[in-house]
């Protein structure tokens, strides 16, 4: 398998899962910030122009965090990265979808790329009040998201219960983004972040990414 990743992207969660399952893989860094994912060489691999992108052993390409994470978990069932009871699995999917669609897709996307959400004509002006408003809206979405995710983590160590799952890999990468932005996180989110960060797989990946 081969994973295409970029610094400060959600591909962090996928590489953590690859380390959790322990199968051989290759990782290739892509200059996402420099636009490499939107140029011809990479677009031939993933026309969506984003990471994570996984090339499987049969040469087929898999994209989107949730799809890649689920495939890795299902094809390595012995690692128990998806709960084996229906209710816990549903809760896991609930967290995964909320992190991907809301905390990341609606919140952090506004913080990191406000021009995408700015009114026409203001996207190119970095000092436009509209961009500041978009960033603030993103911050509020993220804060509300963590507040909602905080409550169940007061009753259980991981997103779906007693065991680490693919939802925790997703939650971790947005927690890390918040940490790098020095955002104040709710108590249970901080505990979860530190718990996941202490896992051998995470320590190894952060070292690969030259992060601590």
Task: Confirm or reject CATH 1.20.1050.10 for domain 86-199, answering yes or no.
Answer: yes
The H-assigned helical ranges of the chain are 11-21, 40-43, 65-74, 86-98, 109-112, 129-150, 166-180, 187-197, 200-208
**Phi and psi (nearest 5°) for 48?**
-70, -20
Residues 6 or more apart whose Cβ sits within 8 Å of residue 44: none
Topology given in CATH for the domain delimited by 2-79: Glutaredoxin (3.40.30)
Residues of the chain with CATH 1.20.1050.10: 86-199
Residues of the chain with CATH 3.40.30.10: 2-79
The pLDDT score that the predictor gives to residue 122 is 64
The pLDDT score that the predictor gives to residue 130 is 82
Return per-residue pLDDT of the chain as tens, 212 residues: 999 999 999 999 999 999 999 999 999 999 999 999 999 999 999 999 999 999 999 999 999 999 999 999 999 999 999 999 999 999 999 999 999 999 999 999 999 999 889 877 665 666 677 888 999 999 999 999 999 999 999 999 999 999 999 999 999 999 999 999 999 999 999 999 999 999 999 999 999 998 86
The pLDDT score that the predictor gives to residue 171 is 98
Residues 6 or more apart whose Cβ sits within 8 Å of residue 198: none
């Amino acid at each position: 398998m081969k994973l295409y990743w970029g610094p400060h992207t959600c591909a962090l969660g996928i590489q953590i899962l690859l380390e959790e399952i322990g199968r051989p893989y290759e990782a290739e860094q892509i200059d996402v910030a420099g636009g490499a994912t939107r140029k011809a060489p990479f677009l031939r691999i993933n026309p969506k122009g984003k990471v994570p992108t996984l090339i499987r052993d049969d040469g087929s390409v898999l994209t989107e965090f949730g799809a890649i994470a689920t495939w890795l978990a299902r094809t390595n069932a012995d690692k128990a990265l998806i709960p084996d009871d229906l209710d816990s699995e549903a809760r896991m999917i609930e967290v995964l979808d909320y992190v991907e669609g809301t905390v990341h897709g609606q919140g952090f996307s506004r913080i990191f790329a406000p021009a995408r959400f700015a009114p026409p004509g203001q996207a190119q002006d970095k000092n436009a009040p509209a961009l500041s408003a978009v960033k603030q809206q993103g911050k509020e979405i993220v804060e509300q998201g963590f507040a909602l995710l905080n409550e169940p983590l007061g009753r259980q160590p991981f997103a779906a219960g007693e065991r680490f799952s693919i939802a925790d890999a997703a939650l971790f990468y947005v927690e890390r983004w918040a940490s790098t932005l020095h955002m104040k996180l709710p108590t249970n989110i901080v505990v979860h972040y530190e718990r996941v960060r202490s896992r051998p797989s995470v320590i190894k990946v952060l070292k690969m990414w030259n992060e601590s």
